[in-house]
Amino acid sequence: MRKVLGLAGGVLAGGAFPLAAQEAPHGPLEINGGLMIWTIVVFGLLFFTLRRFAWPAILEAVEAREAALERQLAEAERHRAEAATVLAEQQRLLAEARAQAQSILAEAKAAAEKERAAGVEKTRHEQEELLARARREIADEREKAVTALRREAVDLSLAAAAKLIGQRLDGAQDRALIEGYLASVEQAN
């Protein structure tokens, strides 16, 4: 290769200078046959050299670059598919979490409602017990008051009867007689 380039350079150098010494070119549009032949020869040698040595390396680099780009595109497509799969999984998990949260909230509401109803029922039951106890206590107190009132009435009746009769009535028989009379008066009312 160096021999070819050296030969081409020598031929050009040796042939171009004598031509330049003989005639001076007149303008850029003039046709010079010798210069045109040497230009074609240099172009052919350059074309042959580039085709033989540079193009295979350039084509190899371009093909390697193309293969690398194809690998990167395939890898990007694989990553995109993986990302889509992960996204779908995340969305599914999020939907499950939302459903589970709704279920937990519903259970909590139901438990709270049940607890509230139990509390209301317990309070109502306690109120009824308190009311029943109060009624019993009132009935007991009423009974005690009625009994005390009867005793007082018997004592007053005995005192009144003793004043009427003029003697003191204190016996159990007299007391039984007056209590029987008061009981018959209560039944009549």
CA 137 to chain CA mean position, Å = 59
Q: What was the pLDDT predicted at 175?
A: 74
Q: What was the pLDDT predicted at 46?
A: 95
Closest C-alpha to 157, from 169, 147, 166, 145? 169
Dist CA 92 CA 78 (whole Å): 21
| Share above pLDDT 70 across residues of the chain, in percent, rounded to a whole number | 79
Q: Structurally, how many domains does the chain consist of?
A: 1
pLDDT(137) > 60: yes
Tokens found for residue 5: 């380039």
What tens digit of pLDDT does each residue of 160-179 get?
A: 676 666 555 566 777 777 77
Q: Is residue 171 part of a domain?
A: yes
Indicate the pLDDT class of residue 132, thresholds 50, 70 and 90.
Answer: very high
Q: Is residue 13 part of a domain?
A: no
What tens digit of pLDDT does each residue of 46-82 get?
A: 999 999 999 999 999 999 999 999 999 999 999 999 9
Q: What was the pLDDT predicted at 147?
A: 83
Q: Of 22-31, 125-134, 153-162, where does mean pLDDT reach its minimum?
A: 22-31
Q: Is residue 21 part of a domain?
A: no
Q: What was the pLDDT predicted at 16?
A: 45
In 30-171, which ranges are continuous DSSP H helix? 33-49, 55-165
Closest C-alpha to 13, from 42, 33, 53, 40? 42
Q: Are 158 and 175 in contact (CB under 8 A)?
A: yes
pLDDT(117) > 80: yes
Residue 53 DSSP label: I
Q: What was the pLDDT predicted at 68?
A: 96
Q: Is residue 76 part of a domain?
A: no
What tens digit of pLDDT does each residue of 25-39 get?
A: 567 788 888 889 999
Using alpha carbons, list the distances in angstroms from residue 166 to 158, 160, 161, 182. Answer: 11, 9, 8, 22
Q: Is residue 37 part of a domain?
A: no
The model carries a pTM of 0.38
Domain that holds residue 153: 147-188
Q: Is residue 60 part of a domain?
A: no
Q: Is residue 48 part of a domain?
A: no
Q: Is residue 110 part of a domain?
A: no
